[in-house]
Amino acid sequence: MAGTHTVLFTLLPTVLILIALAGVESAAVKDVKDSKAQAGASKRVFMPASDASNFFKQRSRRSPRTYEEYYAEQRVKMAANERRREHLEEQNNEYENYLEEERDEQYERTREKNEQWREFHYDGQYPRYPYHRQYV
């Protein structure tokens, strides 16, 4: 109980200060800069008649694209596809090289292990590798 009282008494001045600061900001005097900014915004909304006619001459969303626009878009798509293809090809080559190295290492380990096994189990009475002879 005493802990909650201490927390409330420490938070109470902070809340009062925030309320006082919020009241001061809302009672601030209007700046001249703000009125100039609003006038600039109204100038941006209203435009001269020549600019307005050019605005409506621009292509609408549903009108067909020009050949140049279509061709530029296709070039961008083709360049992106080429970059993607090169990246995937590079990744594939790296993976194939990795697999080849892994297979070579595995083959070498297996060969050495088999060779050691044959040497360990060789008793000297028969040819070393009877199944490697040309004529059986």
Mind listing the pLDDT tens digit for each residue in 79-107? 999 999 999 999 999 999 999 999 999 99
Q: How confident is the model at residue 11 (pLDDT cuts 50, 70, 90)?
A: confident
pLDDT at 112 over 80: yes
Task: Give residue 135's pLDDT.
Answer: 57
Cα separations in angstroms, 1 against 8, 9, 11, 12: 11, 13, 16, 17
